[in-house]
Amino acid sequence: MNLFEMAKIPLNRAQELLGVSDIAASYLQQPERVLEVSIPVLMESGKVQLFRGYRSQHCTALGPAKGGIRFHPSVTVDEVKTLSFWMTFKCAVMDLPLGGGKGGVTCDPTQLTNKELERLARGYIAKIAPIIGEDRDIPAPDVNTNPKIMGWMMDEYSKWNGFLCPGVLTGKPKTIGGSAGRGSATGRGVSFTVREALKKMNIKPADATVAVQGFGNVGSFSAKLIHDLGCRVVALSDVNGAIYNSQGLNPYDVEKFVKENKTLVGYPGSQPISNAELLELPVTVLVPAALEMQITAENADRVKARLIAEGANGPLSADADNILDAKGVMVIPDILANAGGVTVSYFEWVQNRYRYYWGEKEVNSKLEEKMVAAFNEIFDLAQKYHCTLRVAAYICALERLVMGMELRGWLS
């Protein structure tokens, strides 16, 4: 089964539970539009190299497409389609007036000079410019793209139009239209959902132990903000390995160590463990915030956490979901747990359109309001339909999407 087919499993279950019509369901089975482009880049060697890029717009029933741009050797059209599918549901779960989009270029950015990277970024945007725009499709950063690259891309699109267009992309540097609070938004959203789930489970933060896989943007902010809730973070990891201390680790101190040493392995007072061991620790909360497919049928049985918050996209396989559900583990699905990033991207887009910018406190409090509302709505739907939070999140999104299609006359 390819990634796209696997991603559709909870949607299919939600469609059965809601009794969605065949025509509404079929709108969601494939993206509305997928563009494939060739991008010529003049390399430092003086030769031109052709790169392959994609942009997928999955569903725009509720608004313009929204989603990141990934630069990675493993980017394929199938991956981009799947990621755009998840964005449709993530935006709908958060009740944002946006649809699902995603883009990518098959490349290894570690092999490119700064100039080559800039030419690739500008070349990609020039090629997809006819289908993007602040009312059509608003890209953002994803794996290996960042605010600096968003700045180049926004500039290229603006040149194409002849005027400054900050609202065409989000995740920009603050001086040129980025939002306060965007850097911490995804991890902050994860921490809000963990806090709400612990309340439902009648567990006090002080009694909860936590392991976080990945210490990048999502993992480090999740760890720091969950620590701030009063939980005891006992294990952290990065690509080089994991660290453990049963008495608790201070993620702020670990971050300082990482800045100096480029890895958290070797952090004083911690015991080295493997990433596989981290996933199987007897903790209250596990936050996989690194890669896809980390918990599968192979290791799900050995996972001892009572609550899993998916910081990464797709860290659990469909088989793992079933095994964990049977064990009574609560899983906060990616389309809810890590939706803080797209929510603040939405705030950035709104601020760009108004040319009026909010302070970080205001952004964080608006994010909290939206995350808590979404969590509670999905929790209630899971009780009503006797299903997992993942299926409930798809039910919540699907109700909004079908209503949007109905009201726009797509179904009759």
> Which residues are marked as active site?
102
d(CA 20, CA 77): 28
Closer to ligand NAD at the Cβ: 104 or 341? 341
Closest to ligand NAD by CB, 15 vs 351, is 351
Q: Which residues pair with 368 in a beta bridge?
A: none
Alpha-carbon 412 to chain mean position: 34
Q: Decide: 299 and 281 in contact? Cβ < 8 Å.
A: no
Shorter beta-carbon distance to ligand NAD: residue 210 or 387? 210
Q: How many CA atoms lie within 13 A of 66 on its CB side?
A: 29
Chain position whose Cβ is nearest to ligand NAD: 216
- What is residue 228's three-state secondary structure? helix
| Spatial separation of the C-alpha atoms in residues 187 and 251, rounded to whole Å | 13
113/146 with CB nearer ligand NAD: 146
203 vs 293, which CB is nearer to ligand NAD?
293
Q: Which is nearer to ligand NAD, 106 or 186 (CB)?
A: 186
- DSSP string of 374-409? HHHHHHHHHHHHT--HHHHHHHHHHHHHHHHHHHTT
Environment class of 6 (CB within 10 Å of its CB; exposed 0-12, middle 13-18, buried 19+): middle
**Distance, first Cα to last Cα, the chain:** 33
State the minimum distance, in angstroms, from the CB of residue 20 to ligand NAD: 26
Q: 48-59 and 33-42: which strand pairing? A: antiparallel
Q: What is the CA radius of gyration of the chain?
A: 21
Contacts of 82 (CB under 8 A, 6+ apart): 3, 4, 7
| DSSP 8-state secondary structure symbol assigned to residue 316 | B
Identity (one letter) of the amino acid at 233?
A: V
Please give the residue ranges that form the binding site for ligand NAD (CB under 6 A): 143, 186, 213-219, 237-239, 275, 289-291, 311-313, 338, 341
Within 13 A of 186's CA, how many CA atoms are on the CB side? Answer: 25
Closest distance to ligand NAD from the beta carbon of 46 (Å): 32
Instruction: Give CA–CA dist 317/218, Å, rounded.
Output: 20
We find the least distance from the C-beta atom of residue 346 to ligand NAD, in angstroms, to be 13
Closest CB 409 distance from ligand NAD, rounded Å = 33
